[in-house]
Amino acid sequence: MALFTPGPLAGQISGRVGASVFSHNRGGPYIRNGTIPTLVTTLAAINAKGRLSAQSQAWDNLTVPQRLAWKGWADANPVVNRLGSQVTVGANAAFVGINTRLAYAVQTPLTDPPIADPPTALATLVLSADIGLGTFDLTYTATPLAANDMLWINACLIDNPAINYVENRLRLLMVSPKAQASPLDIDTEVAARFGTIIVGQKLVVRVSVFSTATGLLSAPLQDDALVVST
């Protein structure tokens, strides 16, 4: 692993360039050799690929006016990338991104782009993780969620609690039922996604409000908790 100091030609780099992967931790930016997986076998990955493929095919069935509408929406709604920069995605990417989220939540897909703003973010979020009680609770406000809203929850389980950079570790964990009231117990989903849970590990969650009417996400809130047993 090589450390480097970004200069005027490369202020920030994240991701893969050729065989090199650019990332950073608390020690600063670094470069490491990348590996290419030869086979993806997890059920979550297979299902994600299936949703992506289905929505890519659905794009082919849109009319020209619908595609132009998605282009206008994408141009007016740039997204924020991993470096915090706003980028404009293509019409196809906007359509597929929104509808793969709706497919994951088992909601009706959109043929026309959203006409409403993203939902309001959570005001507060507190995570607890107790394997003794068998509860991994998310406590949040406002509660309950609006009638058409769900919680969109990404998470990771870390063996070393000192690790704070989790951008490359977060995985989609679950969506809550509509109009979910606080608290929400995610113990079953955490065990199913990450396997055996051990006291002293750190669970990190990043939670957005997801609108099933528009497929849009609010700004996220993040919290973490050490796994305990009482």
46-67 pLDDT per residue, tens: 888 889 899 999 999 999 999 9
Task: Note the pTM of the prediction, 2 decimals.
Answer: 0.80
* Cβ pair 202, 85 in contact under 8 A: no
> Tokens standing for 108?
């009706």
Express as a percent the part of the chain with pLDDT over 90. Answer: 69
pLDDT-derived band at 118, boundaries 50, 70, 90: very high
Residue 148 pLDDT greater than 70, yes or no: yes
The domain spans of the chain are: 2-33, 43-104, 124-226
* Cβ pair 94, 113 in contact under 8 A: yes
- The Cα–Cα gap between 6 and 197 comes to 38
| Average of per-residue pLDDT across 140-162 | 96
> Tokens standing for 76?
């007016």
Per-residue pLDDT at 151: 98
pLDDT, mean over the chain: 88
* Cβ pair 187, 201 in contact under 8 A: no
Q: Domain spanning 124-226: which CATH class is it, in words?
A: mainly beta
> Tokens standing for 60?
């082919």
**How far is residue 136 CA from its own chain's centroid?**
19
Residue 69 pLDDT greater than 60, yes or no: yes
Residue 5 pLDDT greater than 80, yes or no: no
15 or 183, higher pLDDT: 183
Which amino acid type is present at position 67? R
Nearest to 131 by CA among 223, 197, 189, 201: 197
- The Cα–Cα gap between 214 and 226 comes to 35
Per-residue pLDDT at 33: 73
Per-residue pLDDT at 133: 87
